Chain A
Amino acid sequence: MKKKRNQAAVLAGSLVIGFVASVAAGDAWAQVAGQWRDAQHVYSKICANCHEIGVGPVIKGRNLDPDYYQSVVRHGMRAMPAFRPTDVDDAMLRQVAEMLSKSPAPGGAK
């Protein structure tokens, strides 16, 4: 990734440091199949959006089979969208499923 510093600009009282940034695939911000950092990264950027705010059910600490997680992710369920192999590849999805399968319930509750 290259960053080119330009001049600083002052706008409405707040200092804005300007730069032009070019970002290569595989960088730290990528959130796509083959570029996730680990299972937790997938969970925090996708699953948690709904499953930690009460929109979808809690999916941690449920003692569910990893195969079940995988199936629901690929098929979707009722309103839950399906996630495609380009969102998360099979190998990483397996890691997510295994992580969730073994996870304790949030807050220690069962």
Chain B
Amino acid sequence: MASKYVALPKGVSEKNFDAAIREYREILGAANVFTDAEHLVSYNKIMIPDSNENHQPSAAICPASTEEVQRCVAVCNKYKVPVWPISTGRNLGYGSAAPGSRGQVVMDLRRMNKIIEVDADLGTALVEPGVTFQQLYDYLQDNKIPLWLSCPAPSSIAGPLGNAADRGVGYTPYGEHFMFSCGMEVVMPTGEVLKTGMGSLPNSNTAQVFKWGYGPYLDGIFTQSNYGIITKMGFWLMPAPPAFKPYVIRYPEETDIVDIVETLRPLRMAMVIPNAVVIVHALWELGSFLKRADYYTGPGSIPDSVVKEMVKKHKVGMWNVYCGLYGTPEQNEVNWNIIQHVVKSSGKGELLTAEQVGDDPVFKYRADLMQGKMNTAEFGLYNWRGGGGSAWFAPVSQARGSETMKQMEMTKRILGKYGFDYVSEFIVGWRDMHHIVDLLYDRTDPAQMQAAHACFDELLTEFSKHGYGTYRVNTAFMDKVADTYGPVKKEVNRKIKRALDPNGIIAPGKSGIWN
């Protein structure tokens, strides 16, 4: 007999699922539990190269408070129903709002949208999972609180808690988002509520100002994991600097990546460049507002010669380095002189200010992101190829020119084998680079989807052979990436999982962690 559900959780009978759904409805109200295809479709819109069937949720449950999360977790344990928690559900190109595997119930925390506290003196915020960057931004603006956010490019519709929990990055000096988180409230798989760091001390008022607490620092194990459901997270917010000066350095050749990294690393490490600088390839720079079909309709990857022509025509660099200066005008002046001197001495690169660039929409969106302003212009990248397919390939590299060159060449070669373009940027950390490549493909074309899947698989295989790991991956490749980090790491993760979540109800398979 056909089930009345779109899908069922693995190992759960329809009768038991009926009972679980009934209990979720008692807790949350019928309006906040979805099992119908019409509403569940919005939880299954993905961009990654994997079938929608593999990520079809059986239901979505939408608690509005920590207490409701606890009660739902109790029901999950009772019936062994797995739940996939999401915050704002905008992990686009990593799996969006869909569960890691078919049949899991999405626990949608979007309704938990309280900005619990903003402390303008200490520059801290405490928020729930459903708070979007736009909501927090509007709140700071309307209350004239001089603190800046750091957001990833989807900015307005994404949220600080989910992004930090997946260890996403932004573009201000606070761009390594998990590093600037401070204190969590976590509903454990047993239903207990854990406050990490100083938060577990009764009457403590230091949970958002001191990260480590006492004893083992636990926050890290709740990121990119399935050991609990984060229901609140604290953040440090950056004091708005008296002056901000964005600039771009454009380089004409692809091989300039070596000199760029060698030139900028000392400045970044010494904090002369304080923010998460991006080194943007021409196809990302131009792809955010141009369409591929207007420049190339032949087979395979877009040829280098065509990219060169585009660079010339649109007067951008083959690499475009976006940085900002943050401080008093006097401080910025000192650092600007250092940067001018270093770039000039390197003999390469054209250094341009906002005034020199003029009315350039790409510069504007980069400048906005570097000051934590909402701007979704980067979504224009999805129009480059069209068809809604995107998978972020995100290997970590040393901040060393020779390494970035090697990674670039490997990536281009493998993408080329499958006919995809090298649309990339390097996000510069203090000693690392997040090498971010958007594998863009037409998801309406089954052949391209298959090729994208195979290409992504080969990228992971080849990179891990060379000792390169990825910092984050989409839900179709979590096991594969977990394997690249070796059996001991995987087994320790599993032991922690079994100890904390004996029934395996929280996001089975997240980051390759199973019971």
B365's closest neighbor in chain A, by CB? A53
Whether B97 lies near A31 (C-beta < 8 A) is: no
**Does A53 lie within 8 Å of B110, measured CB to CB?**
no
Contacts of A46 in B (CB 8 A): 156-157
Q: Does chain B have a CB within 8 A of A105?
A: no
Residue of A nearest to B388 (CB): A78
In the complex, whether B402 has a CB less than 8 A from a CB of chain A is no
List residues of chain A with CB within 8 A of the CB of B116.
22-23
Q: Counting CB contacts under 8 A, is B307 at the interface? A: no
Chain B residues within an 8 Å CB radius of A53: 376-377
Nearest opposing residue in chain B for A22, CB measure: B117
Inside 8 A of B374's CB, which chain A residues have their CB?
49
A 66-106 contacts with B by CB, 8 A: 74-87
Q: Given the interface contacts A28-B142, A76-B42, A78-B443, does A9 sit within 8 Å of B121 by beta carbon?
A: yes
Quick check: is B386 within 8 A (CB to CB) of the other chain? yes
Q: Does B448 contact A (CB under 8 A)?
A: no
Q: Is B117 within 8 A of A50, CB to CB?
A: no
B139 within 8 A of A: yes
Query: Residue of A at shortest CB range from B96?
Result: A81
With A19-B120, A86-B110 already in contact, the answer to whether A13 and B377 are too (CB < 8 A) is: no
Within 8 A of A (CB), among B81-121: 89-90, 92, 96-97, 108, 110-111, 113-121
Q: How far is the CA of A60 from the CA of B45 in the complex (A)?
A: 24
List A residues 16-63 near B (Cβ within 8 Å): 16-25, 28-35, 45-46, 49-50, 53-56
Asked if B41 lies at the interface with its beta carbon under 8 angstroms from chain A, I say: yes
Chain A nearest Cβ from B153, distance in angstroms = 11
Tell me if B376 and A55 are in contact (CB < 8 A): yes
Residues A31 and B134 in contact in the complex (CB < 8 Å), given A12-B241, A49-B374, A78-B386:
yes
Q: Does B39 sit within 8 A of A, measured CB to CB?
A: yes
Other-chain residue from B96, B145, B242 in contact with A14 (beta carbon distance below 8 A): B242
Contact of B120 among A16, A54, A87 (CB under 8 A): A16
Q: Is B401 positioned at the interface, with any CB of A under 8 Å from its CB?
A: no
List residues of chain A with CB within 8 A of the CB of B423. Answer: none
| A-side interface size class | 35 or more
Contact of A29 among B43, B92, B142, B444 (CB under 8 A): B142
Q: Which of B42, B62, B110, B117 contacts A75 (CB 8 A)?
A: B42
Interface: B345 (CB within 8 A): no
Name the CB-closest residue of A to B384: A79
B111 contacts which of A33, A55, A77, A81 (Cβ < 8 Å)? Answer: A33
Given contacts A78-B443, A81-B92, contact A33 B120 (CB under 8 A): no
- Please name all residues of chain A whose beta carbon is closer than 8 Å to the beta carbon of B388 when the two chains form the complex: 76-80
Q: Which residue of B lies closest to A85 (CB)?
A: B39
A6 to B120, CA, bound (A): 9
Q: Does B168 have its Cβ within 8 Å of any Cβ on chain A?
A: no
CB pairs A–B below 8 angstroms (27 shown): A6-B120, A7-B121, A12-B328, A19-B145, A20-B118, A21-B118, A22-B116, A23-B118, A25-B64, A29-B115, A29-B138, A31-B134, A53-B376, A56-B379, A74-B41, A76-B45, A78-B386, A78-B443, A82-B43, A82-B45, A84-B42, A84-B43, A84-B97, A85-B34, A85-B39, A86-B130, A87-B110
For the complex of A and B, 5 pairs with smallest distance between CB atoms: A79-B382, A82-B45, A18-B121, A78-B388, A86-B110
Q: Which chain A residues have a beta carbon within 8 Å of chain B's beta carbons?
A: 6-7, 9, 11-14, 16-25, 28-35, 45-46, 49-50, 53-56, 74-87
Q: 18 additional contacts, CB 8 Å, given A49-B156, A49-B374, A74-B39? A: A12-B239, A14-B242, A21-B115, A29-B115, A29-B138, A32-B110, A32-B130, A46-B156, A54-B380, A55-B382, A75-B42, A75-B45, A78-B388, A79-B382, A79-B387, A81-B92, A82-B43, A84-B60
